[in-house]
Structure 1
Amino acid sequence: DGSSFVDESMVTGEPMPIEKNAGDAVVAGTINTTGSFTFTATKVGAETLLAHIINMVEAAQGSRAPIQALADKISAVFVPIVLALAVLALAIWLLSAPTLGLAIALSYGLTSFVGILVIACPCALGLATPTAIIVGVGKGAREGILIKDAATLEKLHQVNIVVVDKTGTITKGKPELVRLENFSRLPDEKIISILAALESKSEHPIAYAVAEYAKAKNIPAETVSGFAVIKGKGLKALVGQTEYFAGNIKLLADLGLSFDSNKIAAETSQGKTPIMLASATEVIGLVMVADAIKPEAFAAVNDLHRLGIRTVMLTGDHQNTALAIAQEVGIDEVVAEVLPDDKLKKIKELQDQGRIVAMAGDGINDAPALAQADIGIAMGTGTDVAIETAGITLLHGDISKLVKAIRLSKFTMRGIKQNLFWAFIYNIIGIPLAGGLFYPIFGWLLNPVFAGLAMAFSSVSVVSNSLRLKAKKL
């Protein structure tokens, strides 16, 4: 019983309220924006959509396997091998006692034994990964990229497909006035002033868009009286002695005013909402309200393509709207009119194809997909649920930071590989030198003091190489 407009952004992610009339379903947790109605609860507790979303998030988070660092695997066998080599070197020197004499053989043997233990200290191996990760995470924070754990930073560079939500990720997530058409002799500023006055009495998000536009343009709202809501169609009020009407095409029909609906059909199919302004005798003008694309989205998608990464948009919005925005931004694939579990299924489908998937979103409806993706990326302007679920948070909701995060991961992993390479080369050269392998040929036998200095130098070189990441431009 009754009718209203309901904000279903929790489920669909779309900012525009949906008209609800008798017989329509409403979801628990959504927001009634205007009007009033009586409803019957058909599902409660664990059967509700919100409970279903929570269960999907928990299941996806629980299925994620931890990443074990390469350096940890190496360190597990490194120490026993080094001890064995040190003992072997001592034994070989002692076997040469008949030739060198017991005192000299024992002296050289102990020197080699201690030298190997000192020079082969696994500090460089132990520092190779954590120093690069610490510097990488710190640089990310300075760039507005908050990284939850090292595993996320390690895996991000492997991503080959990025899935994005539309609202709040590619678009700003709130309606904006994008166009004005004037059919009268009134100045454009006068039309905005009248509309701002009428819409100031409404709590509808579209009304907020008109008010914000007027405020940005420093256009004062007219003084109104006799304000009244025309349910499902718009509103009316007196400005001076003239009664003005603001609303949809249905309102014009009630006033007996004709208007070519084809004029705006193409734009409404792309997600734009018209607000008509009329008097009792004529159509004065219209404004188009839409969820505007973020300015940085164009460059971000282009940069992802340059990195060889495919892009997919998942949205609860209409197909035509999603396709129009995707085409404008340059996104490769669009899946529209999806619910949270549909987004989750799409992520699993891509993973089954062998893709490494990053998912970027900002709403409760994105949480299951964020949890399932190999890398979950939340907009800092989004919901707490999305931020908690994701492994990376982009402050200020800037999608261009995603490209920087991927580059940061590439630089960090390159630094780790360089560190590990240096640590291996150092040990490959240092251990034979300390063990006396070159003594019979060149007479070289490394003093434990110099072995200690070499060990310290290897650690310093690894840390210095990691710190170079701070100077990298993302």
Structure 2
Amino acid sequence: MNELTRNPADRHDHADHHDHASHHDRSDPADHTNHADHSSHSDHSGHGGHGGHHDHVGQFRRLFWVMLVIAIPVVIASRQFAMIIGYPLPQWPWLVWVSPVLGTIMYGWGGRPFLTGAVSELRARRPGMMLLIALAITVAFFASWGASLSVLDSQLDFWWELALLIVIMLLGHWIEMRSLAQTTSALDSLAALLPDEAELVSSDAHGAEQIERIAPADLTTGMTVLVRPGGAVPADGRIVDGAAELDESMITGESRTVRRSVGDQVVAGTVATDSGLRVQVTATGDDTALAGIQRLVQQAQNSSSRAQRLADRAAAWLFWFALGAGVITAVVWSLLGSPDDAVIRTITVLVIACPHALGLAIPLVVSIATERAAKGGVLIKDRLALETMRRVDTVLFDKTGTLTKGEPTVTDVVGSDQFDADRTLALAAAAEADSEHPLARAIVQAAGRKALAVPAATDFSSSPAVGVSATVDGHRIRVGGPRLLAEMGRQELDAVAGWRERGSTVLHVLDDDQLIGALALADEVRPESVSAVDDLHRLGIEVVMITGDAEPVARAVADRIGVDRVYAEVRPEDKAETVAALQAEHRTVAMVGDGVNDAPALARADVGIAIGAGTDVAIASAGVILASSDPRSVLSVIRLSVAGYRKMRQNLAWAAGYNLISVPLAAGVLAPIGFVLPMSVGAILMSLSTIIVAGNAQLLRRLDLRPR
């Protein structure tokens, strides 16, 4: 990687300019996303490993619907439920076994994810929601069988409660997993940057050169490969023949192509845009720079997924609260000389301690918030983003493609004494009309925006590292960088020095042998960037810019936008280190980027935000994706985070508050004054609690996420 960033500033001191007609021949990495249908669901050690693939979401969906169908006869045939609602049950002998038999199926089949999750939590010594659910359904299961076999009091017929508990909790987990499912894999997308096959250069028995197509995985150090114009480099290596402009943006973040020739190092995944190369392989497989980025992404994703969920913390406290209340209830009622009441009260406490509302409190908010966000152009992939973004005090923006448009734009034009600026631009556009180079397109577009009359050109030619030329109205018009002037023996115009100081690319225009003008091109700042930075400052958030571009370019953009800190000429691995350094200052960091080089930093940040127009890898590595390229959408994410977290807290407060009140009442704390919470009232309160939680979450749909 050192060779790539050897002299970043040098890249802006010249304007190696040539035709990029073959640039569009390379395949779009986005075409590879169809196979990356994985969901890297973050750590679920406390959730029974109900993992991270879309198939698991489908399994929970199917399990929910099957259990819902089975739950209907279980609830209707339950004696206790019929008594609570007040309808008579037919006196069919077999009817009394409907709830026990089907309830047992529900416990063993529908309850299995919670039971296995409880085992995982016990092994990890981290009690949470799964253990709380497993405790409730297990106690309800055995108590209900005791009541059905007349071993225990008939009041302990909890088959209906067991069925509803399993169904509602399955619904909550299905909603949660569906909202968290990811459609791309960062590592698959990184691998997709490599070509499907490499062209190995070798010699036959007679010494004649031959080309053999092999898989990049079969390459070994020392082999020589052919990289055709528009093709991707299959492995890290050193150029042994040829010279070309390489698109290294997916690795370095540079917004322009870089000239590479014999002896220079090239990196796997970069693209030769104009000319062919022969590259001797120096690193393959896990030793390549791209593989290094893969490891950084994987490590950062694994480390960020260990954060504890808000609902798990509440569930852990409620588990110990319920267990303690159950033990105290059993001891107190036994000491009072009422062993039967002790059993009834203890079991009632343990069953009622698992609130339906708590199981839905977070998943409902996450689901509705992500749905609402998607309609506003914000895709939330990481559930932790809803909690974390509200605490962000530092936003780290990648420059290219995020604060800027990631493409060159003509910013200044100057003409000589004989030619005005418009005539200079029109002639340059005429000469560049047949070129597909990004700088050429920018010049043609600039002339179009000014509605200039661009004359027709003939006899177009391109000279790598020098420029282009064409015949316009009988004159030979040349457009190029410093090397063109050197070849023609001309001195640049005085205005050019100021352009170069602020990091612009400078192209000179010659009419035959006469220098008639010059153009400055730079990566255009998004008009919304200044507003986004100002809004973040009003919230007391520090704004930092990071880029692989040279210091003059970075400073020029930073001055226009008003960011607080600038990190320039930063390599990909240093971007992740920069995030870590900011976190070491006890800052909560949100990283906003769009390139492969941003992926490790996106994954390392407390919240990774990818611009939707960026690469698949950046999108897959981030927790939040902005469908638009408007940096003001970061403010929308903050508003969503604040509102979503507020709803989570409200729902958790209601769900936990229900427990804190109902459990002591069910335990008989008011028995001395003659009041013990009946199971029927507890059931009604549970249902009411669930309805209130669901209704409160629905209010998130009113949130306005449009950029302001």
| TM-score (norm. length: structure 2) | 0.59
For 1:373 and 1:315, how far apart are their aligned partners in 2? 16
For 1:420 and 1:85, how far apart are their aligned partners in 2? 25
For 1:286 and 1:180, how far apart are their aligned partners in 2? 6
Q: Is the 8 A contact 2:330 2:343 kept in 1?
A: no
1:398 match = 630
1:391 is aligned with what amino acid? G
Alignment equivalent of 1:50, drawn from 290, 301, 325: 290
Partner SS, residue 704 of structure 2: coil
For 2:488 and 2:530, how far apart are their aligned partners in 1? 42
Moved more, 296-305 or 451-460: 451-460
Q: Is the 8 A contact 2:395 2:592 kept in 1?
A: yes
2:472 match = 239
Moved more, 151-160 or 398-407: 151-160
Larger relative contact order, structure 1 or 2 (CA cutoff 8 Å, min sep 6): 1
Partner SS, residue 292 of structure 1: strand
1:326 is aligned with what amino acid? A
1:13 is aligned with what amino acid? G
2:688 match = 457
Is 1:426 paired with 2:658?
yes
Partner SS, residue 266 of structure 2: coil
For 1:110 and 1:10, how far apart are their aligned partners in 2? 66
Deviation sequence 1:54-112 (CA, Å, 0-9, x none)? 232223333334333323323433543554566578668876x9xxxxxxx98xx9998
Could you tell me how far 1:12 is from its partner in structure 2? 1.6
For 2:435 and 2:615, how far apart are their aligned partners in 1? 25
Q: Is the 8 A contact 1:146 1:392 kept in 2?
A: yes
2:598 is aligned with what amino acid? D
1:10 match = 250
| TM-score (norm. length: structure 1) | 0.86
Report how many aligned residue pairs link the two structures.
462
Moved more, 20-29 or 395-404: 20-29
Could you tell me how far 1:278 is from its partner in structure 2? 2.2
1:76 is aligned with what amino acid? F
1:302 match = 534
Distance 1:92 1:370, change over 3 A: same
2:577 match = 345
For 1:220 and 1:39, how far apart are their aligned partners in 2? 44
2:394 is aligned with what amino acid? I
2:7 match = none
Q: Is the 8 A contact 1:304 1:403 kept in 2?
A: yes
For 1:455 and 1:202, how far apart are their aligned partners in 2? 70
1:169 match = 402
Distance 1:151 1:274, change over 3 A: same
Q: Is the 8 A contact 1:236 1:243 kept in 2?
A: yes
Q: Is the 8 A contact 1:112 1:445 kept in 2?
A: no
Written as runs of structure 1 = structure 2, the 5 A alignment for 1:111-126 is: 122-126=355-359
Q: Is the 8 A contact 1:114 1:448 kept in 2?
A: no
Unmatched tracts of structure 2, length 5 or more: 1-240
2:701 match = 470
Moved more, 118-127 or 9-18: 118-127
Alignment equivalent of 2:316, drawn from 57, 67, 73: 73
Partner SS, residue 273 of structure 2: strand
Moved more, 353-362 or 445-454: 445-454
Q: Is the 8 A contact 1:164 1:313 kept in 2?
A: yes
Written as runs of structure 1 = structure 2, the 5 A alignment for 1:215-364 is: 215-219=448-452, 221-261=454-494, 263-280=495-512, 282-364=514-596
For 2:424 and 2:506, how far apart are their aligned partners in 1? 14
Distance 1:302 1:89, change over 3 A: farther
1:57 is aligned with what amino acid? V
Could you tell me how far 1:317 is from its partner in structure 2? 0.6
Is 1:30 paired with 2:270?
yes
1:471 is aligned with what amino acid? R
Could you tell me how far 1:26 is from its partner in structure 2? 3.0
For 1:436 and 1:40, how far apart are their aligned partners in 2? 81
Could you tell me how far 1:172 is from its partner in structure 2? 0.8
Moved more, 167-176 or 77-86: 77-86
Q: Is the 8 A contact 1:89 1:113 kept in 2?
A: no
Moved more, 61-70 or 84-93: 84-93
For 1:269 and 1:16, how far apart are their aligned partners in 2? 17
For 2:275 and 2:439, how far apart are their aligned partners in 1? 15
Q: Is the 8 A contact 1:157 1:410 kept in 2?
A: yes
Written as runs of structure 1 = structure 2, the 5 A alignment for 1:374-389 is: 374-389=606-621
Q: Is the 8 A contact 2:493 2:518 kept in 1?
A: no
Partner SS, residue 396 of structure 1: coil
Q: Is the 8 A contact 1:86 1:117 kept in 2?
A: no
For 2:578 and 2:657, how far apart are their aligned partners in 1? 45
Q: Is the 8 A contact 2:326 2:667 kept in 1?
A: no
Q: Is the 8 A contact 1:180 1:288 kept in 2?
A: yes
Could you tell me how far 1:322 is from its partner in structure 2? 0.8
For 1:193 and 1:22, how far apart are their aligned partners in 2? 36
For 1:440 and 1:22, how far apart are their aligned partners in 2? 92
Partner SS, residue 245 of structure 1: strand
Partner SS, residue 316 of structure 1: coil
Partner SS, residue 331 of structure 1: coil
1:340 is aligned with what amino acid? P
2:639 match = 407
2:540 is aligned with what amino acid? G
